[in-house]
Chain A
């Protein structure tokens, strides 16, 4: 990334815990529900077409977030279920685990949602998601040829991402 005057990504990536590729797929959405990026490493089963799949994933997260905020026992003020929340209101979840996979989720105040689906035994990936956000900033946001809000087409970003995700335990 020297061409764009990119700096070294800081902080340095959290150390991977084990070798081997445990990641299934990754999504990046923006606030408007546009799937900016979809990467797939290991996904034997497809039941929907890509567009439906992205929509379903976004819908799942959106509803789950609103549910988790509704069930929050620590906060006194909460809107009705389904009523739009102001950004910053309510709590947020950062992952869930089923018997077959684990989904890790991060949302930035700017509305970028990063979703990583991995093997159910993977540990806490919050630091990894932060690192991926840093990669996104360096390779996508700082690229002058990238139009904000459009799907990402950057081989450089994809390669770096693949390399990093391969190391996640």
Chain B
């Protein structure tokens, strides 16, 4: 049997190089602020943040796999647990919990009680439609796509909108089978 990967990102988080949390938070804030100025529409900013997250996710997955030594997950349930317990810890220093599984095991919610992205943030009235942390949903979508899982990630609860936690819904749309990539045999 392949060795079972870590069930917590604690050790990896301790061993990787980190940046100052405030610098990180403020930099992210500056990016969102700039996007709001450039794109003007809140909807467009949400879209752009998601796309940025996606681009991060498709690279981040390799770093995650290389450093975490996580082996293949048996099912989507395990995948979600690994994201919440190892992934979030490794990259953001917080852990999340997985709740609300549907009967088929293809849809769950990831609950973040602590979110370093939103320290010092208050949404002004003009930005009520903004999903400030939309980059995170993009990251998850991108990373999972690289391990052949098409997913849809949406925000269910958002502390900046008055909820008590951050909650992401992750829905597995389909798993893409591995196919022989060359079509023609010349």
Contact = CB atoms under 8 A, between A and B. Distances in A.
Contacts of A98: none
Contacts of A110: 61-62, 65, 146-147
Interface of A is mostly: loop
Nearest to B19: A5
Interface string B82-103: 0000000000000000000000
| Chain A interface residue bracket vs B | 20 to 34
B27 interface: no
A55 B186 CA distance: 11
B38 interface: no
Interface string B33-53: 000000000000000000000
Nearest to A34: B181
Interface string B160-186: 000000000000000111111110000
A142 interface: yes
A112 interface: yes
B17 A7 contact: yes
A148 B146 CA distance: 11
Interface string A144-166: 00001000000000000000000
B182 A87 contact: no
B148 interface: yes
A59 interface: yes
B16 to A, nearest CB: 6
Interface stretch (A14-22, A42-50, A117-125, A130-138): A130-138
Interface of A: 5, 7-8, 10, 31-33, 55, 58-59, 62, 84-88, 108-112, 130, 133-134, 136-137, 141-142, 148
Interface of B: 15-17, 19, 58-59, 61-63, 65-67, 70-74, 146-148, 175-182
